[in-house]
Structures are given as C-alpha cells and as structure tokens.
Amino acid sequence: MPCHYVIDKERRLVITTASGNVTFAEAMAHQDQLSRDPEFSQDFSQLLDATTVSRLDLSALQIRELARRRMFSATSRRALVANNPAVFGVGRMLQTYLDLAKAEEKVAVFYSRSSALKWLGLENDPPAAGQSG
C-alpha cells in the first residue's frame, strides 16, 4: 500500500507518507485504517508527505468524496507537501472542496516540508512514516 502513517501522540500529529501511484481505493483504505486506530484522535493534526507520489488516480468526484469524510476536528491543521505540480494541484482541489463545504479543520498545501512544519507549529521535523500504522 502506498500510504503509511505514524502517530506521534506527544506532538498530537499524524505523519502520513504516500508514494508511487495512489488510487482512490488506497486513499479510502488509509482513512479507514487511521479512523480505526486506537491511537488516533480527531483532534490531532496531520502532515501528509506526498513528495514521492508520482500520480494520483483520483477523479474530481473521488476527491470530493475524500473531502466529505470528516476525519479531523475544528482544532486540527492538515498540511500536504508535494513537489509534483499535478499532486500539488490535487491537494489544492481537496483544500477547495473542504473550504466550500465549510469544513472546520484547516488545510494547506505546500511545496516545502519546512514551510508545512512551520504552519503546523512544529519546530523539529517529526520522524517519517516508515511503516503502516
């Protein structure tokens, strides 16, 4: 599966790493697995590192469906980092759908991990998600 995560309870952060070709089914499975994880709290923030994603096989309707699923709370911040312009654009589309739906969590898309960490209020870089969480 190209989506892995680590939960850093001390920082109240989910660190998700996606790589390769990510499909809608894989993104949904990741959300499902995370929501069932007893270590997960909706109040956590998220750093989604998509810098090694080569392609997102998601339609506009599927992106909207992912946005409709309320995984995080109003106090959460979710930062997506992408260096591929197409992946960055999909992240912006997700952000737009959440904005239009008046979702309470804050979402931002970045080309730089350091900018994302700063926006999340983190001084130190958390460990990468090296295993399925």
- pTM beyond 0.75, yes or no: yes
Q: Map out the domains of the chain with their CATH numbers.
A: 3-120 (3.30.750.24)
Select from 69, 73, 63, 70 the least CA-distant residue to 97: 63
Per-position pLDDT tens, the chain of length 133: 589 999 999 999 999 999 999 999 999 999 999 999 999 999 999 999 999 999 999 998 998 898 888 889 989 999 999 999 999 999 999 888 888 877 778 899 999 999 999 999 997 776 665 544 4
Q: How many CB atoms lie under 10 A from the CB of residue 80?
A: 24
